[in-house]
Amino acid sequence: MQPTDLRTLTDVLRGDLAPSSTTAATEISERPHARLVRYGTDDQYERARAAGAVPVLLVPPPAVPAWCYDLAPGVEPANSVVEFLISAGTVPYVVDFGDVSRADRHIGFETYFDHLIPRAIAEVVDDFAGPTDALDLMAWSLGGTLSFLTAANDPGLPIRSIITIG
């Protein structure tokens, strides 16, 4: 490693590369491996509902922090998917699978697509209570695979679309 590489690694580990702020958020529910958070202020939430927006559920890969969708809000160039979605007039939610340890080795793909993600979908629809009982899933990496498996496992879920990244 070069000295520059070590300085960069140190900056990353200390959090010195970008502000450590986050977008305003409200916790909707707290369950093991399925914490649900709604981003945005109450005013942004009410405006999106009144405008007939469709909420977006962000699905991260397991064992990746859910804040991966909210990197350095308020910074230019923009790095926050959450901030972009709010500026587009929708309400983003994220299901946070939390830390995964050896004690969680019993959790398989089926736990995510048969229990955790469908429950998060139902909670988003209940919380948003918009003009349509539908939402969009936006998922990164393995979260995309889990989103497609969720939709295939239960075609009756109120999923309007699935957007995958990476």
DSSP-derived 3-state class of residue 150:
helix
Task: Give the burial class of 81: count Cβ atoms within 10 A of its Cβ; 0-12 exposed, 13-18 middle, 19 or more buried.
Answer: buried
pLDDT of residue 1 exceeding 60, the answer is no
CA gap 129, 108 in Å, rounded: 31
pLDDT digits (tens, 9 = 90+) for 9-61: 566 556 665 555 689 999 999 998 999 999 999 999 999 999 999 999 999 99
Do the Cβ atoms of 33 and 104 come closer than 8 Å? yes
Proportion of the chain above pLDDT 70, given as a percent:
86
Low-confidence winner among 34-38, 101-105, 113-117, 136-140 (lowest mean pLDDT): 101-105
Q: Which of 64-73, 76-85, 97-106, 131-140: highest mean pLDDT?
A: 131-140
Mean pLDDT, the chain, integer: 89
Cβ within 8 Å of residue 77, ≥6 positions away: none
In this prediction, residue 20 carries a pLDDT of 57
Do the Cβ atoms of 158 and 79 come closer than 8 Å? no
Question: Residue 148 corresponds to which tokens in the numbers above?
Answer: 């497609």
Listed residue (131, 128, 118) closest to 158, CA to CA? 118
How many of the other CB atoms lie within 10 Å of CB of 34?
Answer: 19
In this prediction, residue 131 carries a pLDDT of 80
In this prediction, residue 72 carries a pLDDT of 73
In this prediction, residue 2 carries a pLDDT of 55
pLDDT of residue 150 exceeding 60, the answer is yes
Give pTM, 2 decimals. 0.86
In this prediction, residue 71 carries a pLDDT of 81
